[in-house]
């Protein structure tokens, strides 16, 4: 979030460490950002995560694991000062940390990238219609865009949502071999032992063995618990 003070270029591609690049990123680099401050892939998630960072429920919230950052614009507006002001306003506690801050601060100045630039687990597991229904999103990627992202992903993001991380033996991610090829064969690292957490196992079991409507109900119950816990945290402040 303070990268403008460390890199002199006018823009930069930022990648989380749990990603693998499978394609030439020249196209991504050459995207004209115009006056947008940041570019990213829309993250499918519960609506309350938007409202707690000052976004409207119908706004498109991006995942911060892959970002194209317009440093030229950041310097014009002194972006790091905006971040500090936003953090103070929220008592230095913003849900989803850097991701929540970026979405809250950049609202209205976000350019949305194709899903192939940040292929996340839910985009592999579910259809576009299922994701829209699950999270009540007004705007999301089409099934054609998700199919293209799955057939030829440019960047795979190994978030631990349904599958284990690719550096664990128990990983079931369909694209785990791309990560493990470098991790094991090039870096000579050993895969570690770690099972999926109980919540993730329960989520997977319900998704695989029950109608999708039951899965939606389960997720809504979990979200209600998260909202309740979030409100309790805010009250204690």
Beta-bridge partners for 38:
69, 110
| Closest residue by Cα to residue 94 from 53, 60, 40 | 53
- Structure tokens that stand for 128 in this block: 């576009």
Question: What's the pTM?
Answer: 0.91
Strand pairing of 38-40 and 110-112? parallel
Tell me how far CA of residue 27 lies from CA of 16, 32, 219, in angstroms: 19, 10, 36
Q: What is the pLDDT of residue 49?
A: 85
Q: Are 215 and 56 in contact (CB under 8 A)?
A: no
Q: What is the pLDDT of residue 232?
A: 59
Q: What is the pLDDT of residue 159?
A: 92
Q: Are 141 and 62 in contact (CB under 8 A)?
A: no
Chunked mean pLDDT (size 10), the chain, 237 residues: 90 96 96 96 90 88 97 94 92 86 95 98 96 93 98 95 91 94 94 89 92 93 73 54
Please classify residue 21 by burial: count the beta carbons closer than 10 Å to its beta carbon, then call 0-12 exposed, 13-18 middle and 19+ buried. Answer: middle
């Amino acid at each position: 979030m303070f990268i403008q003070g460390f890199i002199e270029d006018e823009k930069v591609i930022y990648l989380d460490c749990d990603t693998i690049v499978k394609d030439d990123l020249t196209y991504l680099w050459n995207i004209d950002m115009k006056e947008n401050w940041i570019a990213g892939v829309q993250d499918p998630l519960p609506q309350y995560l938007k409202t707690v960072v000052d976004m409207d429920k119908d706004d498109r919230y991006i995942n911060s694991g892959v970002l194209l950052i317009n440093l030229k614009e950041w310097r014009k507006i002194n972006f790091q000062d905006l971040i500090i002001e936003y953090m103070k306003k929220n008592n230095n506690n913003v849900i989803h940390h850097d991701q929540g801050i970026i979405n809250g601060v950049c609202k209205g100045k976000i350019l949305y990238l194709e899903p192939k630039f940040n292929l996340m687990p839910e985009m592999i597991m579910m259809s576009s219609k299922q994701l829209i229904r699950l999270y009540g999103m007004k705007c999301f990627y089409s099934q054609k865009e998700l199919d293209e992202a799955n057939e030829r992903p440019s960047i795979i993001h190994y978030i631990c949502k349904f599958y284990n991380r690719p550096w664990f033996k128990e990983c079931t991610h369909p694209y785990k071999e791309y990560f493990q090829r470098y991790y094991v064969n090039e870096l000579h690292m050993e895969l570690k032992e770690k099972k999926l957490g109980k919540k993730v196992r329960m989520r997977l079991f319900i998704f695989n063995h029950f109608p999708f409507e039951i899965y939606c109900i389960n997720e809504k119950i979990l979200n209600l618990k998260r909202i309740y816990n979030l409100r309790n945290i805010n009250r204690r402040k």
